[in-house]
Structure 1
């Protein structure tokens, strides 16, 4: 069992997973846990790391933040991936951290976090294990060289064309950006994006506006309430330009929509940990599953429809009449958008 997450929160079902992992280790299952130092800081300060290690579970703290070493290590580069590998055969990935939505950040006033994960089997599962092994080798000081992963020979091969796509600052820094931009430009009929944090640059905004201008039905689904007030105000600063070009904006009111997806024409989808903002596109270590399959997209569309059923479409006319102080706040927050 290999687990790689940005956040492992304390309490609720996350603790139940911890107990299950200890039980698995005691019955002889090889277990490794890789967590981001900042995102899981409370977990690392708890008794869980010691309990894991006593049970034989290997634990590694990714990208640790240490006082006095900021001049040598960038604290803004974070491990944002969500990967769960089971017996080198099954992988879960998506937007969900190791948290219980019933208890996670319930003091933020946004309701429960709404996430989605996908279960993967077949040869593509090996690609996710390869990414985990690479991350593990980089962040674990005991490993001096990287060993490649040899796929199991008896892995069943399905009929879905898919690929794992890992991104981060050790790769070409604009590769994820180019993939997103190409996907938007490739849309001919419909483009739907779900993201909790919306902070694109001018290039992506222009691509979305151009897609709507050439007749593509472009829909952006974001949470109505956000755990980051600054991000919420900054996101709204893009609304007017997008809606003036024909982009539909839906605000989800059923909690904090945390699912990250981009679907093109009902035939291809990008699904994973990537937010539609500069931090995910250029700074974080992210993971995505790219699927070229209409039945998968149809299933994703059902999920999207359930989000839309709990969303309010932003009316362009009413939006244009919002209070002047709101416009000023949005524009002020927009100045910080490249840093969010």
Structure 2
């Protein structure tokens, strides 16, 4: 019989206390995160999704929420975002002295949306713009190269992805040549999207040529604890000489060199090239992004008076919306809702990633119930499995409401556009998913012009001609396995 150890009861008591303290701390942590989720103002589906993840996979769920559940911009960037607004506000007030560039008239369908943006952003839409749709990557890159070669003062660029190859290398060479001849050149690229670029030779080559190259929102293990890593710089924008501007869905890539092994085909994009005062208002967006990322203030100059007062062949009315840290919250989401509710005859939407909020889904279905001819065009093949299945979970409700859904067969349809009654166009970088609507830095142009609307309508009609419509009757007969998979990924839709 072993000898009695008088320390044994003490040890048992010690381990019991440790176990109880660990269990108490564990439940206290869960309760604390639960309370934090409930106290944050977020949609009910999003809150429920996070709670279920945390209670089903407690430790993994808590860690995931702490990393990705809240908008952590980082103290330094948050401070810069807050401090830049006094000077930005003064610049906007000074811009209003140029009354001749602003519009006080809008079409009936566009008026509510332009009023919303004016009140939330402090600036109204501008007129006197020329605007051209660029429907192929080759046309966009060739046109951009010509504009870069003609630049005299400044070139500012921001892209989510820059991948070398083909015409993109000619863009890089033209940019470096511009810097060598004295043009001020700035290039800001997202760290995650352009990771291959930053590992290649071009960053050093560009910097040696005089181009300021900035890696935005750097990704590394250390920064995980101080800033949300999936907060991305998703804008695609080029500004030249404070007079020419580009934006749209295209990253700085040539499709034949990009994601060839993804099995989705070439990416199909849509860009807009503008001339006029809209370049000035887009410049303030770039200046704010640059200051948040670098701490350097670079407010753009006032509009070119000679350009603004000259007779224009076209007079397109355009408003710019920017989202992301430092800009009005939820504005792109509010703009989409306003545009959908304004539709009276026709609504056409194109997006590669369709994971709408409940409010947006309800607005689209309501438009169809009101008798609006609603069409949504999405790619048949998608490079994101989760988004592909999650988006399909919305199809049944849309089809039941009378929405026409087309699956594009000619590649990965990456263009992001909304056309309301062939008069009001929304064109830019934002997808119809939670990430673009609530998190990423995006930019969207609002265009109140029936001529441009007809041009966009022709592009969308071409997309539809290259698509296969989803038959509502056949969709209701899809397999149980498919339905279960859709609902499983729908569970994660608020988090995508």
| Shorter-chain TM-score above 0.5 | yes
- Normalised to the residue count of structure 2, the TM-score between the two structures is 0.67
Write the distance in 1 (CA, Å) between the matches of 2:420 and 2:389: 27
Partner residue, 1:276: 432
| CA distance 1:149–1:339, change in 2 (3 Å) | farther
Partner residue, 1:153: 305
Tell me whether 1:19 sits opposite 2:197 in the alignment. no
Kept after mapping to 1: 8 A contact 2:320/2:445: yes
Partner residue, 1:309: 465
Partner residue, 2:248: 94
Q: What are the equivalent positions in structure 2 for 1:53-202 lying under 5 Å apart?
A: 53-141=207-295, 143=296, 145=297, 147-156=299-308, 158-202=314-358
Write the distance in 1 (CA, Å) between the matches of 2:160 and 2:203: 15
- The Cα shift of 1:201 comes to 1.4
Q: Alignment length, in residue pairs?
A: 338
| Mean Cα deviation higher: 40-49 or 145-154 | 145-154
Kept after mapping to 2: 8 A contact 1:8/1:35: yes
| Mean Cα deviation higher: 187-196 or 124-133 | 124-133
Where does the alignment leave 5 or more consecutive residues of structure 2 unmatched?
1-154
Write the distance in 1 (CA, Å) between the matches of 2:446 and 2:480: 41
Kept after mapping to 2: 8 A contact 1:169/1:282: no
Partner residue, 2:446: 290
- The Cα shift of 1:16 comes to 2.1
Write the distance in 2 (CA, Å) between the matches of 1:191 and 1:83: 26
Q: Which has the higher helix share?
A: 2
- The Cα shift of 1:19 comes to 1.6
The partner residue of 2:403 within 247, 253, 262 is 247
Kept after mapping to 1: 8 A contact 2:283/2:300: no
| CA distance 1:172–1:131, change in 2 (3 Å) | closer
- Normalised to the residue count of structure 1, the TM-score between the two structures is 0.97
Write the distance in 1 (CA, Å) between the matches of 2:270 and 2:335: 21
Partner residue, 1:299: 455
SS for the counterpart of 1:106 is coil
Write the distance in 2 (CA, Å) between the matches of 1:169 and 1:209: 30
Kept after mapping to 2: 8 A contact 1:260/1:273: yes
SS for the counterpart of 2:444 is strand
Deviations, residues 293-316 of structure 1 (Å, cap 9, x unaligned): 000000000100110110001000
Where does the alignment leave 5 or more consecutive residues of structure 1 unmatched?
none
Tell me whether 1:41 sits opposite 2:201 in the alignment. no
Cα RMSD (Å): 1.2
Kept after mapping to 2: 8 A contact 1:111/1:255: yes
Tell me whether 1:227 sits opposite 2:379 in the alignment. no
Deviations, residues 136-186 of structure 1 (Å, cap 9, x unaligned): 121124x2x453532221224652111111111322322211111111111
| Mean Cα deviation higher: 12-21 or 214-223 | 12-21
| Mean Cα deviation higher: 318-327 or 288-297 | 318-327
- The Cα shift of 1:339 comes to 1.7
Kept after mapping to 1: 8 A contact 2:321/2:331: no
- The Cα shift of 1:18 comes to 1.1
Query: Larger C-alpha radius of gyration, 1 or 2?
Result: 2
| Mean Cα deviation higher: 316-325 or 190-199 | 316-325
Write the distance in 1 (CA, Å) between the matches of 2:361 and 2:225: 34
Kept after mapping to 2: 8 A contact 1:38/1:64: yes
